[in-house]
Amino acid sequence: MTDNKFNRIDHFRQIKKEIRGNSDFLIVGIDIAKDKHYAFFGDANGHTILKKLPFENNQNGFEKLITHTEEKKAKIPFEKVVFGLEPTADYHKSLGEFLIKKGYPLVFVGAAATVKNRELLDGRWDKNDMKDAANIADLISQGKCQYYDHASEQIRNLRSLLSLKRKIKKVEHSTSMRIRNHLVAQFFPELDSYFGSYSEGCLSIIKHCFDPSDIAQMPFDSFVSLVTSRQPTRLQWGKLKSIWEMAPSSIGCSMTTGVDFESSMLVDSLRKTRIDIVAVEREIKRICLTLPEYEYILSIPGFGDTISAITLAAIGDHTRFDNTRQLLKMAGLDLSSNRSGKFSDTQPAKISKKGKSELRYGLYQAAMVASTRNVDFMAYFTNLIKDRSKEKGIKTRMRVKLSAKLLIIAWTLMKKKTVFNPVFIKSKQV
């Protein structure tokens, strides 16, 4: 067996189709932990082969798992073997990559499925302390498992960088709020009104002359020279003038050297963080340009560099989705509703929101742009809300629907290896 992505997908589909009640399969369910994993061996008919195999999260432990697997496979014998696990933080990834590189079929089960199935487990498998691992094996035996997405190296790099960007953006936001809500609010509250439109200028003031009493004592030209390294624009000049004029009447608290030190350090940290974000974005763009699918997605109206990269990373290998339902479920744009009770007939369906939140947000922003700036999408959106304009929240709901449409279009373009054409908007298959 090779680590060919198409072969892995086809093999997974075959497993899903054949595994129920099939005595040819040895099923290895693995409960993942930080330092030590536990494996449960069983067959597709609910028979326990080995209740508990602890193994370390290292090379020796992984080899131990393989050795026991091959022994059990040969002893019964079993024709086929499939490993399964529940993703746990990032602790499962090393083992997952190891098994895939060894050529073994690997699937995963979702956390929600394991919770629902746990109560039913004792009626199917022997009682034991390894219920989590046995639970995973039981779900696999029922075909209730999902494809383990081990994307190409480029897509994994892209996903890693997007994750890094999210983390750095959180740091940026946290540091910015610390400056505004802690420092500015205490010591120069009047400066806050300029923070949104003149962020960099405000940071320079906080860095070099944060104390309003110091600003009040210096000539305006000296103040400008202190906080700018280049000739300010007319607009910037006006904002600096206003800040300088209101400094003498500031209601801010008196400052100390400790505040000066903190403010300078936080400004330096925020600026460094923003430089890091630009560097990460540049690397994301570089990787995207090496992937032909990026050009296809980028051609969709409303899609810029960021949402194109997010969409490409989320979809990865387009062949792993059999239909649009699976695709929308991945994004959390699949519909769900409470159809029981008194209002079952009138309860509107809502999106599940159980998928990738960053992807949903990006797609919604793209839908906003497309529905207001692109002629073809404007016509499509107008038709969606036709005769429904008085319904509460109709525009928001229809933009969510358009978000799903955009994701399907992106997937379609990847499959067809082509750029966007307005014909995809009207296609019922998209």
Domain boundary among 150, 171, 206: 150
Residues 28 and 127 in one domain: yes
CATH code for position 237: 1.10.287.4070
The distance from CA 371 to its chain's CA centroid, rounded to whole angstroms, is 24
Q: How far apart are CA 92 and CA 62, in angstroms?
A: 12
Q: Are 242 and 235 in contact (CB under 8 A)?
A: no
Mean pLDDT value of segment 147-156: 93
User: Domain count of the chain?
Assistant: 3
pLDDT in tens, 95-133: 999 999 999 999 999 887 887 787 666 555 444 446 889
Rounded to 10 deg, the angle between the 199-208 and 220-227 helix axes is 100
Q: How far apart are CA 92 and CA 427, in angstroms?
A: 40
Confidence of residue 353 (pLDDT cuts 50, 70, 90): confident
Placement of tokens 């005595």 in the chain: 23
pLDDT of residue 349: 62
Q: Please report which residue ranges of 211-301 form alpha helices under DSSP H.
A: 212-216, 220-227, 234-246, 257-288, 292-298
Confidence of residue 214 (pLDDT cuts 50, 70, 90): very high
From residue 342, give the alpha-carbon distance in Å to each of 57, 346, 347, 349, 352: 51, 9, 9, 15, 21
What do you get for the CA distance between the two ends of the chain, in Å?
A: 34
Q: Are 20 and 44 in contact (CB under 8 A)?
A: yes
Residues 303 and 417 in one domain: yes
pLDDT of residue 129: 43
Q: Name the residue type at position 129.
A: D
Mean pLDDT value of segment 279-295: 97
Q: Where are the beta strands (DSSP E) in 282-382?
A: 335-336, 350-351
Nearest Cα neighbor of 164 from 309, 276, 313 is: 276
Residues 247 and 324 in one domain: no
Q: How far apart are CA 416 and CA 277, in angstroms?
A: 33
pLDDT in tens, 252-266: 999 999 999 999 999
Domain boundary among 285, 318, 341: 285
Residues 164 and 133 in one domain: no
